[in-house]
A and B are shown apart, each in its own frame.
Chain A
Amino acid sequence: MGDLPLSTIIEATLRTLALGASVALIAGLFGISMAWLVTRTQLSGRKHLASLLSIPYALPPFLLGMAWVVLGNPTVGLLKDVLPQSGSYGFWGMTFVLASVCFAFPYLELKAGFEKMDPALEEAGKMSGASPFYVFRTISFPLLFPALLNGMCLSFLYAIAAFGVPALLGLPVRKFVLTTLIYSQFRVGGMEGLSEGLKLSVILLVIAIILLILSGWLTRIQNKRGGALAGAKSSRPSLVSLGKWKHLATFFAWGFFTVTVILPWIALALSALAPIAGKFSPSLWTLKNLAYVLTLDDFKEGLFNSLILAFSVATTVVTGGFLLAFSSVRRKKRWATWVIETLGLPFSTPGTVIAIILIFASAWLTRMGLPFDSPLLLMAIAYGLKFSAVAARSICTAYRQVHPALEEAARVSGAKTWTLLKTIWFPLLKKNLFAAWLLALLPMFTELTMSILLTGPGGATLGTVLFQLQEYADQPSAAALAWMLLTIALFIGLMTRKKSEETT
């Protein structure tokens, strides 16, 4: 293996762009229809659905990808008779699975938009004589368009940076995207593979940066319009009675949730309980796959490492975020604001690129006589870079929501900074800090994209163990592990959903 042919690079780049675009389009389409249905219509069970639909956001797409391998395998898949001949493999399989997760970006943006919008804006349209559809077309849609585009940008960014799903559904049929091509070059090994990987990373990074600039521009437009959107709310929005469409819409909306979340869970469960791949009959169900995975040394190592990494990095990140956000929001310290903003860069950088940069840095330091190549240390740095921005931002928002007078009253009583943090801010923000901690911890726990490149002897994580089980065609064991992880993720998703309902 020498230089990668240019045609392969171009093909992978084009496929990456096409994947991003089609995921963004499908996610946008579903995002806006779901957001409208749950906020503006008399859909059956709309409030439950509204919060359930935010769950995919927290599901590791790799697990869903594995479920779709079980469902869509062309020879033994559960749905092989329903799906087209290639099953869930190939470009459209990747698009579908990624869109089923990414739809949450436009959905959450638009749901917030609909909820924030002054209902009088739509009522004024009705009073002018416009039908509900015309009101949507000329008022609601144009007002929410920047939010929609922004959500689609995020979906695009997420799709081009994804590794697990293209590896599962693309590699077996040799459909490379940039992230999987980088991985395969890296596997070649040596400086040669690494430098090819770096070249490809630059392409990926450039695409990401262009999107970020676009998204930043859209956010500015949104804020300009947002001023009017967040006006005094005079009334609750009236809900469109869907008339004869109500049953169809309810079926569509709940069906969407079933296909994107419940069906994959069932598929993994069936596959985990089956004695061999493809034998799903209940009479043959067995727990031996689950038991087998739990006794694997690799699994024990992966679980231990993932727990240690996720807990220690999330705790560090939240502690740092608590202090940084205090300096930035409450003390208006420029440097703190700058640090928080800068953390947004690695957050938006594809994980593959971060990992490749870290590998280069570590190789360089080692050559300089500073052995800096422990996989766990590199992963801790990578996780910290990638996932601290979300935590820091949510903590900043929490600080802003508390009236400054609560702190000022304590200062007037004589409390100094540390006392303030300890006696006022920490107790007040406890719940938000826990939420931020979970927000950082969950993606770390099942992280794959960066871990797979940084892993090494003694550095297995749950993500890499799962990936290797799947790659070595031990599908029942892989499904057993994936099923357990997906169940935990769903459980935490449901719990945090309850929490957020209570606080609002």
Chain B
Amino acid sequence: MSKLVLKSISKSFGDNEVLKPLDLNVPNGSFVALLGPSGCGKTTLLRMVAGLETPSSGEILIGDQKVYGQGTNIPPEVRGLGMVFQSYAVWPHMTVEQNVSYPLKLKKTYSKQELQKTTHETLSLVHLEELKHRYPHQLSGGQQQRVALARGLIMKPPILLLDEPLSNLDAKLRAEMRREMRELHRKLGITILYVTHDQREAFEMSTHVVVLNDGVIAQEGSPELVQKQPNPGFVQDFLSEF
């Protein structure tokens, strides 16, 4: 069963066709890495799933609900997805706890105890309980990134979208976070769509790899397959640069 389905989705900015019509199925519970060089359209694709960018054509289904296509365009705040931004986008005027519990507070259905309990659980998931009263400028880059991750996870979204979340971290932290993300995915069983230009991230964490080049899917499959039998041409070149 597919959690996310894209049907001939394309995107142009003026005359510039960033994405040619493409289809993509993201199976339930999978960890899909969108891999490609900068400018290949991977972030645009992710932002269209989020609802932050409007496709030029095609359809998007989440679960069995159509969120985009044929006159439907559900705004991002109603799609109920989680997202981690490349710049983290942790709000500087809120504490760690306020940042993380923000999505929950918007849902009026939670009682105060539930809110506290869920926030606490999510914070401990990313090892931030100790720092919950701190403000972002008192945190390191890695810790801010965990805040963003916790905020994306707290609603238990059907899909978690990650836009190059590790690109601003140093090599050591990056390795640590790769391990942790894999762990989180296994523990929570959620569906993840992950944009990266780093093949190591893609191959180490994901269950599916989609290689994008110039707005076209160059290859998709399991990490093992793409690594062992890269399509001749672009994918082979891109992987050999490693």
Q: Please list the residues of chain A having a beta carbon within 8 angstroms of any beta carbon in chain B.
A: 118, 120-121, 123-132, 134, 138-139, 142-143, 224-225, 227-229, 231-235, 238
Q: What B residues does A228 contact at CB under 8 A?
A: 90, 92, 136-137
Q: What A residues does B53 contact at CB under 8 A?
A: 238
Is there contact, CB below 8 Å, between A126 and B52?
yes
The 10 A-B pairs with the shortest beta carbon distances in the complex, nearest first, are: A228-B92, A128-B103, A120-B89, A124-B89, A120-B85, A127-B83, A126-B76, A232-B87, A129-B106, A231-B87
Q: How far is the CB of A225 from chain B (nearest CB, A)?
A: 5
With contact pairs A121-B89, A143-B93 given, residues A129 and B103 touching in the complex (Cβ less than 8 Å): yes
Is there contact, CB below 8 Å, between A128 and B102?
yes
What total of A-B pairs shows CB separation below 8 Å?
Answer: 88
18 A-B Cβ contacts within 8 A? A123-B85, A124-B85, A124-B89, A125-B102, A126-B76, A127-B81, A127-B152, A130-B102, A131-B77, A138-B102, A139-B91, A142-B93, A143-B91, A227-B92, A229-B92, A234-B43, A234-B163, A235-B52
Is there contact, CB below 8 Å, between A120 and B87?
yes
Give A311 to B152 CA distance when docked, in angstroms: 59
The residue of chain A having its C-beta at the shortest distance from the C-beta of B154 within the complex is A128
B78 CB–A CB distance under 8 Å: yes
Is there contact, CB below 8 Å, between A127 and B92?
no
B7 CB–A CB distance under 8 Å: no
With contact pairs A123-B76, A142-B93, A238-B52 given, residues A130 and B87 touching in the complex (Cβ less than 8 Å): no
Is there contact, CB below 8 Å, between A126 and B92?
no
* One of B43, B78, B83, B107 near A124 (C-beta < 8 A): B83
Is there contact, CB below 8 Å, between A120 and B86?
yes
Is there contact, CB below 8 Å, between B87 and A234?
yes
The residue of chain A having its C-beta at the shortest distance from the C-beta of B83 within the complex is A127
- What 13 additional pairs, Cβ within 8 angstroms, besides A124-B91, A127-B77, A235-B47? A120-B86, A121-B89, A121-B91, A123-B83, A124-B83, A125-B102, A126-B76, A127-B81, A129-B107, A130-B106, A134-B106, A227-B137, A235-B52
Residues of B in contact (CB 8 Å), total 36
Give A234 to B52 CA distance when docked, in angstroms: 12
Q: How far is the CB of A236 from chain B (nearest CB, A)?
A: 10
B50 CB–A CB distance under 8 Å: yes
Is there contact, CB below 8 Å, between B92 and A118?
no
With contact pairs A128-B102, A234-B163 given, residues A123 and B89 touching in the complex (Cβ less than 8 Å): yes
Q: How far is the CB of A20 from chain B (nearest CB, A)?
A: 27
Q: How far is the CB of B154 from chain A (nearest CB, A)?
A: 9
Q: How far is the CB of B122 from chain A (nearest CB, A)?
A: 13
The residue of chain B having its C-beta at the shortest distance from the C-beta of A122 within the complex is B89
Q: What A residues does B37 contact at CB under 8 A?
A: none
Q: How far is the CB of A145 from chain B (nearest CB, A)?
A: 8
Q: How far is the CB of B145 from chain A (nearest CB, A)?
A: 13
Interface readout for B38-60 with A: 1 if CB under 8 Å, 0 if not?
A: 00000100010011110000000
Give A126 to B168 CA distance when docked, in angstroms: 23
Q: What A residues does B26 contact at CB under 8 A?
A: none
Interface readout for B160-194 with A: 1 if CB under 8 Å, 0 if not?
A: 01010000100000000000000000000000000
B158 CB–A CB distance under 8 Å: no
Is there contact, CB below 8 Å, between A225 and B77?
no
Give A127 to B152 CA distance when docked, in angstroms: 8
Q: What A residues does B152 contact at CB under 8 A?
A: 127
With contact pairs A235-B47, A235-B52, A238-B52 given, residues A129 and B89 touching in the complex (Cβ less than 8 Å): no
Give A126 to B47 CA distance when docked, in angstroms: 12
With contact pairs A224-B137, A228-B136, A235-B52 given, residues A128 and B151 touching in the complex (Cβ less than 8 Å): yes
Q: What B residues does A124 contact at CB under 8 A?
A: 83, 85, 89, 91, 148, 151
Q: What B residues does A127 contact at CB under 8 A?
A: 50, 52, 76-77, 81-83, 152, 161
Q: How far is the CB of A295 from chain B (nearest CB, A)?
A: 58
Q: How far is the CB of A138 from chain B (nearest CB, A)?
A: 8
Is there contact, CB below 8 Å, between B52 and A123?
yes
Is there contact, CB below 8 Å, between B80 and A129?
yes
Q: What B residues does A224 contact at CB under 8 A?
A: 137
Give A120 to B163 CA distance when docked, in angstroms: 11
Give A128 to B103 CA distance when docked, in angstroms: 5
The residue of chain A having its C-beta at the shortest distance from the C-beta of B107 within the complex is A129
Give A139 to B98 CA distance when docked, in angstroms: 12
The residue of chain B having its C-beta at the shortest distance from the C-beta of A232 within the complex is B87
Interface readout for B128-150 with A: 1 if CB under 8 Å, 0 if not?
A: 00000000110000000000100
Q: What A residues does B33 contact at CB under 8 A?
A: none
B75 CB–A CB distance under 8 Å: yes
Q: What B residues does A120 contact at CB under 8 A?
A: 85-89
The residue of chain B having its C-beta at the shortest distance from the C-beta of A229 within the complex is B92
Q: What B residues does A235 contact at CB under 8 A?
A: 47, 52
Is there contact, CB below 8 Å, between A129 and B78?
yes
Q: What A residues does B107 contact at CB under 8 A?
A: 129
Give A128 to B88 CA distance when docked, in angstroms: 14
Give A123 to B81 CA distance when docked, in angstroms: 12
Q: What A residues does B137 contact at CB under 8 A?
A: 224, 227-228
Give A125 to B81 CA distance when docked, in angstroms: 12
B4 CB–A CB distance under 8 Å: no
Give A231 to B103 CA distance when docked, in angstroms: 22
The residue of chain A having its C-beta at the shortest distance from the C-beta of B99 within the complex is A124
Q: What B residues does A132 contact at CB under 8 A?
A: 77
Q: How far is the CB of B115 from chain A (nearest CB, A)?
A: 14
Q: How far is the CB of A32 from chain B (nearest CB, A)?
A: 17
